[in-house]
């Protein structure tokens, strides 16, 4: 189960990425840092930003967006400028690309990167917080 994080933690992640997150993703991470999102006809595990506020949060955010992006970049044909934000557990990723480096902003268009073809196509995402039933 994902928990909220703070502006400070999101700001730190943006600084490490070198680009600002799109508003919808930023708001989602503040409300629920990680968890599940719907995109296309699949359920995706949203990568959290690393939360260093205490040991419990560090452990819960070990699969943070920077770590997962580094792992994704090991795949052949993964776009070098892309930031991985979610995975469906099959090797595919939801990614963001810079709108342009001069703006310092990641685009708000989310792409589904297919590990089998190396291609990326825009995909609609439901950013609403989705809580699993207990």
In a domain, 2, yes or no: no
> Using one digit for the tens of pLDDT, what is the confidence trace for 29-87?
999 999 999 999 999 999 999 888 888 877 787 789 999 999 999 999 999 999 999 99
In a domain, 79, yes or no: yes
- CATH code for position 18: 3.40.1580.10
Is the pLDDT reported for residue 96 higher than 80? Answer: yes
pLDDT of residue 33: 93
Instruction: State percent of the chain over pLDDT 90.
Output: 75
Domain of 88 in residue numbering reads as 7-130
Q: Distance between CA 83 and CA 76 in Å, rounded?
A: 15
> Using one digit for the tens of pLDDT, what is the confidence trace for 1-28?
578 999 999 999 999 999 999 999 999 9
Label the pairing between strands 111-113 and 120-122: antiparallel
In a domain, 1, yes or no: no
Which pLDDT band holds residue 133 (cuts at 50, 70, 90)? very low
- Number of structural domains in the chain: 1
Q: Distance between CA 54 and CA 117 in Å, rounded?
A: 40
In a domain, 60, yes or no: yes
In a domain, 53, yes or no: yes
8 Å CB contact between 120 and 111: yes
In a domain, 121, yes or no: yes
In a domain, 14, yes or no: yes
**pTM for the whole structure:** 0.91
């Amino acid at each position: 189960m994902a928990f909220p994080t703070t502006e400070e933690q999101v700001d730190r992640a943006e600084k490490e990425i070198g680009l600002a997150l799109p508003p919808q993703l930023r708001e989602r991470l503040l409300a629920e840092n990680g968890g599940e999102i719907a995109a296309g006809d699949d359920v995706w595990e949203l990568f959290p930003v690393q939360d260093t506020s205490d040991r419990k949060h560090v452990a819960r955010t070990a699969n943070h967006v920077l770590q997962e992006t580094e792992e994704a970049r090991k795949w052949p044909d993964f776009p070098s400028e892309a930031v991985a934000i979610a995975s469906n557990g099959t090797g595919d990723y939801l990614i963001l690309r810079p709108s342009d480096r001069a703006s310092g902003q990641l685009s708000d268009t989310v792409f589904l990167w297919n590990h089998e073809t190396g291609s990326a196509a825009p995909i609609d995402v439901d950013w609403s917080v989705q809580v699993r039933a207990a």
